Every structure is written in structure tokens, then in C-alpha cells.
Amino acid sequence: MRLLLVAAGLALLVGCSGNRCERIEDDAKAFVLDVVDEDQSCTQDSDCAVVAINGSCYDVCTRVVAVANVAAVEAANDEADREICGDFSLCTTIRPPCAAPAAPVCNDDGQCE
């Protein structure tokens, strides 16, 4: 009986830790992706750039952003890694490799993609 209780407690601890890790990862990604979505306006392809979106607790490979927004996205990426991922030290994650990004374009609606 005691062994069963210990096993149940460990399973609960691991489950909570996993949920905590997912929450940290999701919060970091959301923080950066909100900044990515802030300004995507463009008039030509050269107004758009590919930016890496990753940190010690998340990796969404790359996103296309307006050149005018690159510095803000990079700053948000650094802040998320420093402020949000700091609690991720006990978590492990397997990140598959990212595909090569496509060339950024300014679409007919004047938005980078």
C-alpha cells in the first residue's frame, strides 16, 4: 500500500512538472509571438525579414516580420528567454530541427509573410 502511495505521488509530481514546463514554454512563445504580430506592414519584399524565434525553453524556428519590427522582436525574444525561461531549468524538451525558412514576401494586402 505504501509503495502504491509513493508511486502515485511521483506520478502526480511528474505530471505537475510536465504541465508547469508546458506552461512556461507556452508563455514564452506567446510573449514573443505577440510582438511578431504587432506590425507586419510592408510595401515591398525588402520591407520583410526572417527572424529566429527561440530561447532556452522554446523554439518556433523562424517567423517573417516587418524590418521595422525586427529589433522589437529580437528584444522580446531575449526578454522571454531571460525572464520567462528562467524557471525552465528542471524541464527537458526535444526540439526537432527547423526547416529552412522561405524567402520573406510582402503580400497583396501589404503584410509580410
By percentage, how much of the chain surpasses pLDDT 90?
Answer: 66
44-95 tens-digit pLDDT: 999 999 999 999 899 999 999 999 999 999 999 999 999 999 867 778 777 8
Q: What is the Cα–Cα distance from 15 to 103, expressed in whole angstroms?
A: 40
The candidate with the shortest Cα–Cα distance to 25, out of 103, 80, 73, is 80
- Is 14 within a domain? yes
- Is 8 within a domain? yes
Residue 37 has pLDDT above 60, yes or no: yes
Q: How many domains does the chain have?
A: 1
Note down the domain range covering 24: 2-88
- Is 34 within a domain? yes
- Is 84 within a domain? yes
- Is 19 within a domain? yes
- Is 16 within a domain? yes
pLDDT (0 to 100) of residue 17: 56
